[in-house]
Amino acid sequence: MKIYEYMGKELFAKYGIPVPKGRVARTPEEAGQITAEIGDAVIKSQILSGKRGKAGGIKFTASPHEARKFAAELLGSEIRGFKVDAVLVEEKLKIDKEYYLAITIDRGAKCPVVLASVQGGMDIEEVPEEHIVKYHVDYSIGMMPFKTKYITSKLKLPAEEAAQVQEILVKLYKMFVELDAELVEINPLVVSAGKIIAADAKVIIDDDALFRQKDLPYVEEKTESEKKAHELGLAFVELEGNIGVMANGAGITMATLDTLQYFGGSAANFLDAGGGASEEATAKALELVLAKNPKAIIINIFGGITRCDDVANAFASVKKKRGIPVPVVIRLVGTNQEKGREILREVGIEAYDTMHEAAQKAVELAAANQ
């Protein structure tokens, strides 16, 4: 889960990481009010995307009147495809230098990694590798002083800056662990009149840990269908094609899309019903696929932890209850396969043995149903 910059900065402040003075505003009046309090201000649109400046989402002013005007323009507008519901109004910093600091998870090393650079302010992907300090953190030890000293030494920071960055590193790591973060990123980390301040905040929380992060604000970035699927514990992505897809497992779902494409078809959605989905969840998943009005549907199940009879029962019950107005192709093999096929036969469906036969048939049926 991504959270907004202002939420990230509120968390930084809570953990003792210096941030610019200011706060979030949801009306032009609030924006004017905050500007009156802090003087020279920057007004930043709060969206879950970078590059806001280039898209016109960041304004500068010292006048409360102008701040109200800017906020009125920004609030409710759309920037980079996101609607702006709030602006962050904060003091405009005098920027002497811009650094980069982040902690994320290195999949290969299976541990946190610190990324730091004295070339901040730009896209970190554009910074040459030799200018980035990469430092793995042993999860059982955490961010000890000797590690922070190593990092600032590699960055060749002057002593007074080094001390501040070391302190920020300890706090940022504490936050990274306590909030179950996948990423905490400060870009830029600004040097302003000798003081080091987090001028931006990008924080991503692990979705699988949200159950124990109840104090965090919840930020929704999914479409309605994707939201529903998420509540059901399914992975759902809307696509452009016309064949509804339901499969179990991310890999086999991807393989199903690849095979449809090979035979000249295209998928209306990616729906991984997951391993071990219950009959009820499977029925709801099927409803999601139908909601997109596909020209045909392919259900591709290779049951391991998922049982074929559960899937077949779910399909049969949806078919009986609401009717399914489009042709359906089902490939059903694996655990309890014979039971499942028997149930399908009762509702007039003969299951396929292989994915490619089923995919080919689904493409044909979708084309015939134009």
Partner 1 sequence: MSIFVDENTKVLIQGITGNQGAFHARQMVAYGTKVVAGVSPGKGGQKVDDIPVYNSVKEAMEHHQIDASILFVPAKFAKDGAFEAIHAGVKLLILIPEHIPLHDAMAIMNFARAKGTTVIGPNTFGVVSSGKCKIGIMPNQYFVPGPVGVVSRSGTLSYEIVGSLAAAGLGTSTVVGLGGDRVVGLNFIDVLARFEKDPGTEVIVLVGEIGGTAEEEAADYISKHISKPVLAYLAGKSAPPGKRMGHAGAIIERGMGTFEGKVKALNAVGVEVATLTFEVPELVSKVLLKKAM
356 binds partner 1 (CB under 8 A): yes
Nearer to partner 1, 89 or 312 (CB): 312
Among candidates 227, 176, 222, which has minimal Cα distance to 203?
Answer: 176
CB 315 within 8 A of CB 284: no
Q: Is 100 a catalytic residue?
A: yes
Residues 167-206 that bind partner 1 (CB under 8 A): 177, 180, 182-183, 185, 187, 202, 204, 206
Q: Which residue has the tokens 């009046």?
A: 29
Nearer to partner 1, 208 or 215 (CB): 208
**Looking at residue 157, what DSSP letter applies?**
-
Continuous H helices in the chain = 5-14, 28-38, 64-74, 145-154, 159-178, 224-231, 250-262, 279-291, 308-322, 337-346, 355-368
166 binds partner 1 (CB under 8 A): no
105 binds partner 1 (CB under 8 A): yes
106 binds partner 1 (CB under 8 A): yes
216 binds partner 1 (CB under 8 A): no
- Could you tell me the two tokens for 276? 């071990």
Alpha-carbon span 287 to 226, nearest angstrom: 13
Interface segment toward partner 1; rule CB under 8 A; list 54-62, 73-81, 245-253, 285-293: 245-253
The CB-of-44 to partner 1 minimum distance in angstroms stands at 18
CB 46 within 8 A of CB 86: yes
Residues 35-74 that bind partner 1 (CB under 8 A): 50
Among 252, 324, 326, 367, the residue binding partner 1 under the rule CB under 8 A is 252
Nearer to partner 1, 57 or 274 (CB): 274
Among candidates 40, 33, 102, which has minimal Cα distance to 65?
Answer: 33
Alpha-carbon span 89 to 60, nearest angstrom: 10
The CB-of-303 to partner 1 minimum distance in angstroms stands at 6
Catalytic residue among 4, 6, 15, 100: 100
**Looking at residue 217, what DSSP letter applies?**
P
Site size toward partner 1, by CB under 8 A: 66
- Could you tell me the two tokens for 139? 């999860």
254 binds partner 1 (CB under 8 A): yes
124 binds partner 1 (CB under 8 A): yes
Residues 260-279 that bind partner 1 (CB under 8 A): 260-262, 266-267, 270, 274-276
Catalytic residue among 90, 182, 185, 226: 185
Q: Which residue has the tokens 């990481």?
A: 17
Burial (Cβ within 10 Å: 0-12, 13-18, ≥19) of residue 52: buried
Alpha-carbon span 219 to 321, nearest angstrom: 35
Among candidates 311, 317, 369, 302, which has minimal Cα distance to 347?
Answer: 317
Interface segment toward partner 1; rule CB under 8 A; list 32-40, 117-125, 167-175, 320-328: 117-125
Alpha-carbon span 124 to 116, nearest angstrom: 10
Q: Which residue has the tokens 């209306």?
A: 268
Among 76, 108, 323, 348, the residue binding partner 1 under the rule CB under 8 A is 108
158 binds partner 1 (CB under 8 A): no
Burial (Cβ within 10 Å: 0-12, 13-18, ≥19) of residue 42: buried
Q: Is 224 a catalytic residue?
A: no
Among 13, 36, 62, 111, the residue binding partner 1 under the rule CB under 8 A is 111
Nearer to partner 1, 77 or 354 (CB): 354
Compute the chain's Rg from CA coordinates.
26
Nearer to partner 1, 41 or 285 (CB): 285
Q: Which residues bind partner 1 (CB under 8 A)?
A: 50, 102-108, 110-113, 115, 123-125, 129, 132, 138-140, 177, 180, 182-183, 185, 187, 202, 204, 206, 208-209, 211-212, 237, 239, 247-252, 254-255, 257-262, 266-267, 270, 274-276, 302-305, 333-335, 354-356
Active site residues: 100, 185
